[in-house]
Amino acid sequence: MDIVSRHSERYSLKNQDAMIHYINQVQSSWTAGKNFPDDISEGYLRQLASAWLPEENDLPSLPVLNALDDPAHTGADPPAEFDARKKWTNCPSLLHIYDQGNCGSCWAVSVASVITDRTCIATNGAFKDYISAWNLVCCCTDEEKCSSSCGGGYSAKAFEFHVKQGIVTGGEFGTNQGCMPYQIKYCSHHMGDKGKYPNCKSYNETVVPVCVSECPNKGYKIPMNKDKHFGVYHQVTGKKLGGHAVRVLGYGTENGESYWLVANSWNPEWGDQGLFKIRSGTNDCNSEENFQTSEPKV
């Protein structure tokens, strides 16, 4: 806390180079670098990190998973390292890095991507479609006390929506995949005008999310009410979700430091090709307070 208070003004977003130098000077377990332009605002970052923080009594009162009660639990110690991408190579979605675009929808994108991965895994690779994040953005809204669409939302409520309402299929922007593809363009959140995609700040168009009863993708042949996928929710201990919702792919140890392997939703130009590692076992940034998922019904 002393370091934060003493250096919070000196090492700020407006002085990223000094912040990066300081971080790399005081520790050596990872190397800090610049992921955002110098003119980035805290307000814009808050929009990207838009998972709301519910109180414990606001979380859905649904079953809690105890790994020791799992019939698959053999009592053996888990492997020292695990990477879902290597375990389930027949599920290409595990390799995919999403882009939420200029929309505060990390709560929806992370949930839809987790459900996509788990449905593929549960069907042994037979299901390779993408669950629609746009369906959540449009329909898991104020009426369900779930979200304000691109203004942020509760990941726990999105998983509950999966259980109770079902979610249709839908790929990313421009893919024309599934019933309800994502409608926000890729954009560069963090590289200004130097990235592969246009600067997010250059987008002036506004896409208004609308919950519909028919597939917006008219070329998709399955009716919307037949395309819904449901699940069985379980929450794994904790009180809060954290400010940003992401997708955990695995874990491991690097240079003696244990970590979680995490996929972000800011496209592959961010971080390590869209991925990052965060120290495990220490609840850094409250990252270990609340792991959530839902089991697909297959």
What tokens appear for 102 in the block? 């200029």
Of 102, 135, 264, 290, the active-site residue reads 264
155-164 and 106-122 helices, crossing angle to 10°: 50
> What is the C-alpha separation between 185 and 244, in angstroms, rounded?
20
Label residues 137-158 b or e (16+ Cβ within 10 Å = b).
bbbbbeebebbebbebbbbbbb
Active-site residue flag, 211: no
Of 106, 120, 138, 146, the active-site residue reads 106
Q: The tokens 């409520």 sit on which residue?
A: 157
Q: What is the largest CA-CA distance in the chain?
A: 60
Active-site residue flag, 106: yes
Angle at 229 between CA 227 and CA 232, to 5 degrees: 165
Active-site residue flag, 244: yes
Residues recognised as catalytic: 106, 244, 264
